[in-house]
Structure 1
Amino acid sequence: MKIDPTVLEPIADRAWPARERSTLGGWRLNASDGWSMRSNACWPLGKPDRDVEAAIDAVEAWFIARGLPLRFKLTDGATAPEDLARHLSRRGYTDCKETLVMVGEAQGRADPVVALSTVPNASFEAVFTASAGGNIEDARERLETLARIPAPARFACLDMDGQPAALGACAIDGRWVGVFGMRTAPEHRRKGLARRVLGALLAEAKPLGACAYLQVEAGNAPAIALYENEGFRTAYAYRYWVR
């Protein structure tokens, strides 16, 4: 499946909405509390409305005014201008956290044990906090972002022994469905629960004829293997540039 990142990246940006947003021409500025890199970074998806060096100055001032780290999200095949990495490197930025964007058909399987809803419930807080190593602020920011996913959205939770064990969410935008917030409580990992949650979410999107996408860190081999087994393939990658 050939994917144009200049088409999919704006969809992914809408699906994971930051608390505060602004633009500099085709550059998108997202700010929340600083934890989720996607919602706390500049996405340079089109030409800025000024000279590139002046645009970088403006981005830096915008994030500094909010007390947030300086971050740019550079996407293969979608970054504008194409030589932005060179400009950032000269200023002392370096790249990190390579992330793969994987795509596949929305061919899921309904699971009667997986509870589905249109809003995240209290179970999400428990699992997100546990998977964030007890970092309540990190978990809270991500939960607030989940709650901002525009409708139609679906939230899935799988309980084990009466306690939330695995969960995930999806955002539907036209023919695309984005999978977000996949988490499994530490004590329930390697039991196939994430696969069941993913299947339930994709089953919800299947009647819409949607294609699915998700983001996974390049070093997360177990997650990549799971998604490849479900028919997902890497379409392109992005990296964060930080100073």
Structure 2
Amino acid sequence: MPLRPRDAPPTATLARRIEDAGLNASAPPQQAFVDGWLLRLSPGKAKRSRCINALQRGHLPLDIMLARCRAAFSSAGLPLIVRITPFTQPPDLDAELAARGWRRFDETLVLAKLDLQPQTPQLPPRSRLQPVGPAQYAEVVGQLRGSPPDQIAAHFERLAASRVPYQGHLLLGPRDELLACGQIALEDSLAGLYDIFTPEVQRGRGHARALCQALLQRALEQGSRHAYLQVDEANAPALKLYQGLGFVPAYRYHYRSEEADAH
């Protein structure tokens, strides 16, 4: 998504805060450190909760680090995946993994909305925004995505255990039909938008835009000043939606894995 002339990216300090907030919001109960690398070992769908985040430059040789991490992920029944961000340590880790033949995939944009302003969300006629708890939200969005029961259970477990409170919402129509769903995760003055989803039969009607506006307004009312989200760089409709809401690129990340079928 190219920057328009009037767009200004967030400062490096805010980008770093967004990365930290995203890590906090996606933390599963199953995680451990190995020589400065954060291993997340959740069986859920979200790769953020089942990958390596290389946060610090460790002391061990890379091959030994990878061997230790491989053993941990194998024990958890998960493919070994490394998340590569502008903050990855050591900085040449991406090149080192590429040289070993690790596949690069899932190019992701982190977007930021600076200086939230009050707004009146334009919800569809006779619709309502219904708050729901983590169990119901994980079930709803899991069913929409076709997730198996173990991934739905892992999603609920992560939401319930998160130290960053999630607020799940369903946008319901006049007959209580689901129009869209989404969550906000609030930490200090940052609001993260997560799991924004519109059922296929409801797409193209502006429901996701209305939902996001309502979630941002609720975040503002609770003290948030900035918002962020993560989106697949290939998802053109979502990028158009978020750019229309005033989000701008903050940074990119991707994943690498030595396993051809990792996803």
TM-score by length of 1: 0.89
Identity percentage over the alignment? 28
Pick aligned residue for 1:222 from 237, 244, 249: 237
- Give 5+ residue unaligned stretches, structure 2: 1-9, 259-263
> What is the 5 A alignment of 1:153-232?
153-160=166-173, 161-207=175-221, 208-232=223-247
Over 3 Å counting, the alpha-carbon distance change for 1:11 and 1:134 in structure 2 is closer
CA RMSD of superposed structures (Å): 2.2
Q: Which is higher, the Rg of structure 1 or of structure 2?
A: 2
Q: 1:178 Cα shift?
A: 1.0
Amino acid corresponding to residue 199 of structure 2 in structure 1: A
Q: Do the aligned partners of 1:127 and 1:166 also contact (CA within 8 Å) in 2?
A: no
TM-score by length of 2: 0.83
- Confirm or deny that 1:44 pairs with 2:58: no
Q: Do the aligned partners of 2:141 and 2:195 also contact (CA within 8 Å) in 1?
A: no
**Which whole-Å deviations, capped at 9, do the CAs of 1:130-183 have from their partners, x for residues lacking one?**
2x2364444443343333333543211111222223111111111211111111
Residue of structure 2 in register with 1:81 after alignment: 90
Q: Following the alignment from structure 1 to structure 2, what is the Cα–Cα distance between the partners of residues 85 and 124?
A: 33
Structure that is richer in strand per residue: 1
Over 3 Å counting, the alpha-carbon distance change for 1:46 and 1:7 in structure 2 is farther
Over 3 Å counting, the alpha-carbon distance change for 1:143 and 1:163 in structure 2 is farther
Residue of structure 2 in register with 1:99 after alignment: 108
- Give 5+ residue unaligned stretches, structure 1: none
Q: Following the alignment from structure 2 to structure 1, what is the Cα–Cα distance between the partners of residues 79 and 246?
A: 36
Residue of structure 1 in register with 2:250 after alignment: 235
Amino acid corresponding to residue 215 of structure 2 in structure 1: L
Larger mean CA deviation between 34-43 and 82-91 belongs to 82-91
